[in-house]
Structure 1
Amino acid sequence: MREEREQQRYTFFINPVSGHGSWYRTVRIIRSFCKRNRCVPEFYFTGDDEKIQMILDEKEKEGVKVVFAVGGDGTVNQLARMLVGKEMILGIIPRGSGNGLAGHLRIPRQPRKALEMIKNAKVQEIDYAHINGIPFFTTAGIGFDAEVTRQFNQRSRRGLIGYLETILKVVQKYKPDVYSIEYDGKHKVVNAFLLTFANASEYGNGAYIAPEADTSDGLIDVCLLKPFPPTAVPGLVVRLFTKRFTKSKYVETIRARNLTVWKAKPGSLHFDGEGDSHNGKINVTSIPRKLKVMTRE
Structure 2
Amino acid sequence: MTKAIHIHFIINPVAGSGNNDLRLEDVYDIFDPEHYEVSIKYSEYPTHSTILTKDSLKEQASIIVACGGDGTINEIARCIVNTPVILGIIPMGSGNGLASHLNIPKNKKQALMVIKKQAIKKIDVGRFNDNYFFSNAGFGIAAKVIKHYQASKKRRFYSYLKASIKSLLESKDDHLIQISTNNEKLSINPLLLFISNSNEMGYKVSLTPKASLQDGLLDIVMVPKTNKLRTLLFGFLMLFKKHHILKEVKSFQIKNAELSQSHEKLFHSQIDGEYFPINKKSISISVMEKSLQVIT
Q: TM-score, normalised by structure 1?
A: 0.86
Residue 293 of structure 1: how far off its partner (Å):
0.4
Deviating more after overlay: 256-265 vs 98-107: 256-265
**Contact 1:210–1:246 (CA under 8 A) maintained in structure 2:** no
In terms of fraction of residues, the more helix-rich structure is: 1
Change (3 A) 1:55 1:33: closer
Letter of the 1:49 counterpart: T
- Unpaired segments ≥5 residues, structure 1: none
1:290 maps to 291
Residue 106 of structure 1: how far off its partner (Å):
1.5
Residue 287 of structure 1: how far off its partner (Å):
1.1
> Could you tell me how far apart the structure 2 residues matched to 1:127 and 1:31 are?
34
1:277 maps to 277
1:16 maps to 13
1:253 maps to 251
Q: For each residue in 1:230-272, what CA deviation from the matched residue of structure 2 results, as whole angstroms up to 9, or x when unmatched?
A: 4445654454344444344332112111111223423411101
2:129 maps to 132
1:150 maps to 147
**Contact 2:30–2:113 (CA under 8 A) maintained in structure 1:** no
Change (3 A) 1:34 1:246: farther
**1:201 corresponds to which of 186, 199, 202:** 199
**2:219 corresponds to which of 218, 221, 244:** 221
1:262 maps to 260
Change (3 A) 1:249 1:49: same
Change (3 A) 1:38 1:234: farther
> Could you tell me how far apart the structure 2 residues matched to 1:54 and 1:8 are?
16
**Contact 1:73–1:273 (CA under 8 A) maintained in structure 2:** yes
**1:109 corresponds to which of 81, 106, 109:** 106
**1:32 corresponds to which of 26, 33, 37:** 26
Q: For each residue in 1:70-123, what CA deviation from the matched residue of structure 2 results, as whole angstroms up to 9, or x when unmatched?
A: 011111011101111111110100001221111111112332332233354521
1:56 maps to 57
- Unpaired segments ≥5 residues, structure 2: none
Q: TM-score, normalised by structure 2?
A: 0.86
> Could you tell me how far apart the structure 2 residues matched to 1:211 and 1:72 are?
20
SS at match of 2:220: strand
SS at match of 2:105: coil
Change (3 A) 1:231 1:22: same
Change (3 A) 1:37 1:131: closer
Q: How many residues align?
A: 285
Change (3 A) 1:113 1:247: farther
Change (3 A) 1:45 1:97: same
% identity of equivalent residues? 28
Deviating more after overlay: 247-256 vs 79-88: 247-256
> Could you tell me how far apart the structure 1 residues matched to 2:90 and 2:242 are?
27
**1:68 corresponds to which of 65, 70, 79:** 65
Change (3 A) 1:42 1:138: same
Change (3 A) 1:283 1:36: closer
SS at match of 1:203: coil
